[in-house]
Structure 1
Amino acid sequence: MTGRRGIAVLGAVVVLLGGCRSTRDESPPEPVRPMWQAATLPVPPGAPGRLMLRDAAACAGRWYVVGAIGGPDGATRPAAWRSTDGHTWSSLPLHPISYYGERAILYAVGCHQGRISVIGARAGGAHGNPRVRTWRQDAEGGLVEVSAEFEVYGGPEAVSASRIAGGAGGWLIAGARSGGAAVWLSADATDFRLVDRAPALASEPALSTLATDALAVSGGWLVSGAGRPTERADRDPFVWFSADGRGWARVALPSTVDDEIVQRLVQVGPTVYAVGVRGSAFQAWVLDAGAAPSDGARWRVAGRFGATGVGAVAGVEAAAGAGAVLLAMTLGAADHRLWRSDAGGTSWVSVVLPIQAPAGGDTSATVAVLDGRVVIAIDGGTAATLWSAPLEPT
């Protein structure tokens, strides 16, 4: 198949804090050791329980972390926090309007013009499928559940509603239906409409597609994911570009014979990066500065890093960056790890986390960057912690 040359493989977590080494130097680079400081998240009013942290974002001078409070009986209720400095946090008021909204675990947060919008879900019903809900931020800063018909996100064709992004065109959710990659659009995060089976985005007879992340870029939207040709077991990495969220152009990234998927998109200054998995490691691709996202010839392989391990679902959980620094949080068979690149994603170095972060069970980890500071949230499945550190040069 054409386009399967080149060295691809999106890095499952993007680039982290820095460090590069000569390709002739066989010794591993020294890991970065930030001066981590623990932060305390208050338990919001309501039934007691443990913190469950799922995603973090930097938004117009504020930090946001979202997740849930999990009770000893397995019950959950949504929770979100904000901070102006990464040290002192306060919980956001939440206003659920449905049975599953009251029990949702918030797992993805996007930002635009100082406001956030959030996706949450809780499994339920006869088949135990996730009941997806979205939340918008009101004038007082609290989160209000958005009313939606069940089949907007659910129903017999439901697969995933993965990530949310805000931009000049409003808000967009990237995910998948049984017909392949799909998106949901809203002008103001109050009424999302499904765009399903869109040509070039959705699956075709010879290609099954899946969307994983969304990013607002100059002139429209960028969505990441992969496609699996019907005659092969491995996937190829793709991004899609749209000016309005309805008509899409599919862009094949440089690929190999390995299984490859783009899982996160991040823009640092004028440069857009895609990161995900390539075979047994993580991979980053980069779009040449100033190039149109739909120009497949201007996407190139950046660097490969880390190892996924064997026997587990691996991936990039989060990516962030500032200045010349790219950060990526990855999940492998053994653990969650943070990585840093100060070289445009071409070389990587590991970042020592403040605590061990084993994989498995109900675990997660994420990273965000704001004003020269890094915030990470690590959920070990039984307890969750939040940390921050200066984003110092290496």
Structure 2
Amino acid sequence: MLGASTLALLLVVTLVVVKATQRDTGSWQLAGEEFAADPVARSDGRDQELRSVASVGRLTVAVGGERSVLGYRAVFLVSPDGGRTFASARVRTPSGEPAPLDDVPSFVAGSPAGWTALGRSVAGGTVVWTSPDGRIWTRQPDQAGQPFAAQDRVRALTRYAQGFIATGGTTAKGDHSDTAPVVWLSQDGRSWRRVTGWQLHPPAKGTLEFTEVAAVSGAIVLRGVAEKGAEVTWRSVDAAATWQEFVPPKPKDSKGLRLAATAGALHVIRQVKDGAKLYSSADGQEWTEGPALEAPGLESVQGLAGEGGALTASVVTDRRLDLLASKDGAAWAPAGSLALLEGREVTGLSSVEGGAVITGRDTGGDDVNALLAVRDTAGGEIPAKISGLVVPDKSVTALAQRGGTVMAVGSTNGDASVWLSSDGRSWRRAKGGTLARPGTQRLHGVTAGDAGWLAVGADTTGRPMVVTSQDGTDWIQADREEIFAADEDTPVTAHATVSGPGGYVVVGDSGDSAITWHSTDLKTWERGAGASGDNLEGAPTTRRWMRSVAAGQFGFVAAGGVTDPEAYGGVFVRRPTVWASPDGRKWILTRLPLPTGVNEGWLTHIVAKDDLLVASGTAVVADGARTWSLTYLSSDGGRTWQAVELPAETGQNVTVTAMTVTSKGVLVAGTVGRPRDVMLWSTRDGRSWSRSRPSGLGANGPGDQLLTAVTAAGGSLIGVGANAAGGEDQPTLLVRPDE
């Protein structure tokens, strides 16, 4: 058993690794039918959003995405008929392959000559998409985003006379407390040029970030926010060659400013006491006042959009978004409204030939849903028909086995789900019963011991999910006990569980702190504590979190990470961390040293085979642009640790996704490359490793694929995961001999 006096200082040693590449054998299949959904599900169970929208004539493109167990799926919706019907556009790489996941498009702009979109990758860096017609999109290589530096932030995008212009800000400190303005220019939407510092005239005084841009002919207007919220406006009348600070018409006691352009003019709206005033200019220099906007109860001007000769303004009035339309700025007429329900966020407005399109997200229901509202020129609601936006949730996240039964847990349509199998090939769904509760839920971990089955996860109420079962079919909510209660403003999540000689342990996080629970019989529970004050307790600058836990004769060892405010001159760096406990009650924290060339890292998985412990996670390598596997070995039950490098192709992103103990040792599953393919590593003793690159549907090929869980049962290795080929994703199943 581990105690404080037996835990040695850790020494990182790079071990000799035998690199052996081989093809994997086994049966891979798509398993959407095997892991059946609840026939009476309440929702699709996934979060969707639309972040931006733009129109050219009657052609409209809205961009956003959907989150799943595989990652973030970028979505481009295109409508050829003014928003009456939308379909999911094809998004591909230059070679014609499906685009990788985890890219988030945030801005879109179009012209008769072509379209462009900008966003960010979850892994970091700006992503560029282009389209000749808005219907088929190409995700450009990462090099296209290099003019957008890591410290830059894009805030607006539009077309201008010579192509496309984006604007925003950059920061040297990293927190945008020193924001300076940036402009990016492109003739074709693919190749961009960054303009900053002395190249912008006049240079910014103090902090400044531009948040809006509008352009017509050679004239461009930028609106930004400077120190203490001061409004700053810049103008170029020579197609972005030079810039001057100027103040658009500003009547007394007016506030706010919104920009837009139509085919022949720039337009600005300022809010006044009884409504709003419109000013227009053909050249950005001479401005004329147009008709006033009148909306009873107007609280603020939310947006302004133009297309062709038409303008659309959106104004907030008493929990409602009212639209006003104007043809050539000659007069304003009501153009419909949208209820501002609780949790509704409006992110985009586009004036389209025949009406207007509004995008955003609705967060007030069981899950987050995309907002797409269309109004005709008379203000009538057009029920848009959408194809390809929603892919219902069906995620399998963890496996366990005991007594000839294999159990899989995860979620379908936003409800926690359990499936059972005797051979790993045919699966039946357990009863829903106590698993379903308000909001969305997902089970993250499952284990079995002498007292029965235990599954854990999280729901959107902020409480952990902790459910138990004797037979795997009927479940009891253990988390109703007060010991699992969360503070009102501190959500609690249970990430993993394990059973061993010392009973059952559940680990997770509570706000900025790590949290554990222990039980010997699945009936009575107690909360774990740190051996000292900061072993589990964290703060915003010193966070602690646990993601996995292993058990054995040594007791329990959990794996996760902490933030270290002392590393690299005060930057909060994530550090790989293990916690040891002899009984699941008192925990000792130990930070593991980072290997040479690694900026930061954290652990996501840990398993134990007798006294052999293997913990793996993610390392951010020195260039900051790639992730690598981060693996540590303990051969003495967690007393001492050594670092080991899993063999993989140099230069590729590597992520560990699952681990298990086999009859011969330890198996690690992960992904390599982008889009991601499955890679397997195996070891008998933790010192010598072999790798295999599986082939087959669900292992490699077009799109992203991964294994989320693996277990050994009845002489077989059983794996579950997901495959995203073809723009959708569904569960995958692997069954192969345990050898």
Give the alignment's TM-score, normalised by structure 2: 0.43
| SS of the residue 2:437 aligns to | coil
Displacement of 1:149 in angstroms is 4.5
Aligned residue number for residue 144 of structure 1 = 476
| SS of the residue 2:517 aligns to | strand
Structure-2 change in CA distance of 1:379 and 1:174 (3 Å): same
Question: Within 5 A, what are the aligned runs for 1:226-265?
Answer: 226-232=561-567, 233-256=572-595, 258=598, 259-265=600-606
Map Cα deviations across residues 317-366 of structure 1 (whole Å, 9 max, x no partner). Answer: 32012132432232565325231223534434133153246459xx8732
Structure-2 change in CA distance of 1:105 and 1:286 (3 Å): same
Structure-2 change in CA distance of 1:322 and 1:153 (3 Å): farther
Displacement of 1:247 in angstroms is 1.8
Partner Cα distance (1:98, 1:69) in 2: 11
Identity %: 17
Partner Cα distance (1:4, 1:300) in 2: 7
Q: Which stretch shows the higher mean deviation, 326-335 or 54-63?
A: 326-335
Question: Within 5 A, what are the aligned runs for 1:205-220?
Answer: 208-220=543-555
Aligned residue number for residue 321 of structure 1 = 661
Q: Which stretch shows the higher mean deviation, 213-222 or 343-352?
A: 343-352
Structure-2 change in CA distance of 1:185 and 1:63 (3 Å): same
Structure-2 change in CA distance of 1:351 and 1:114 (3 Å): farther
Structure-2 change in CA distance of 1:98 and 1:277 (3 Å): closer
Partner Cα distance (1:184, 1:140) in 2: 21
Structure-2 change in CA distance of 1:238 and 1:308 (3 Å): farther
Partner Cα distance (2:609, 2:471) in 1: 29
Aligned residue number for residue 164 of structure 1 = 497
1:283 pairs with one of 630, 638, 655: 630
Displacement of 1:53 in angstroms is 1.6
Structure 1 portions without partners, runs of 5+ = 10-18, 22-27, 71-75, 125-129
Structure 2 portions without partners, runs of 5+ = 1-7, 42-391, 621-626
2:734 pairs with one of 370, 388, 393: 388
Question: Within 5 A, what are the aligned runs for 1:25-174?
Answer: 29-36=21-28, 41=34, 43=36, 46-47=39-40, 51-70=394-413, 76-96=414-434, 99-100=437-438, 103-113=440-450, 115-124=452-461, 130-139=462-471, 141-146=473-478, 147-149=480-482, 152-153=485-486, 155-158=488-491, 160-174=493-507
Displacement of 1:178 in angstroms is 3.3
Displacement of 1:122 in angstroms is 3.0
Aligned residue number for residue 127 of structure 1 = none
Alpha carbons 2:670, 2:679 under 8 Å: kept:
yes
Q: Which stretch shows the higher mean deviation, 148-157 or 334-343?
A: 148-157
Partner Cα distance (1:308, 1:47) in 2: 47
| SS of the residue 2:485 aligns to | helix
Displacement of 1:302 in angstroms is 2.9
Partner Cα distance (1:182, 1:8) in 2: 31
Partner Cα distance (2:704, 2:489) in 1: 31
Displacement of 1:80 in angstroms is 1.0
Alpha carbons 2:671, 2:678 under 8 Å: kept:
yes
2:689 pairs with one of 314, 323, 347: 347
Give the alignment's TM-score, normalised by structure 1: 0.76
Structure-2 change in CA distance of 1:77 and 1:316 (3 Å): same
Partner Cα distance (2:457, 2:11) in 1: 38
Map Cα deviations across residues 80-121 of structure 1 (whole Å, 9 max, x no partner). Answer: 1111211222222232177338x5322221221373211133
Alpha carbons 2:466, 2:494 under 8 Å: kept:
no
| SS of the residue 1:304 aligns to | coil
Q: Which has the higher contact order (CA 8 A, sep 6+)?
A: 1
Structure 2 counterpart of 1:202, one-letter code: L
CA RMSD of aligned residues (A): 3.6
Between Structure 1 and Structure 2, whose CA radius of gyration is higher?
2
Displacement of 1:254 in angstroms is 4.6
Structure-2 change in CA distance of 1:8 and 1:336 (3 Å): farther
Structure-2 change in CA distance of 1:392 and 1:20 (3 Å): farther
Structure 2 counterpart of 1:240, one-letter code: W
| SS of the residue 1:189 aligns to | coil
| SS of the residue 2:21 aligns to | coil
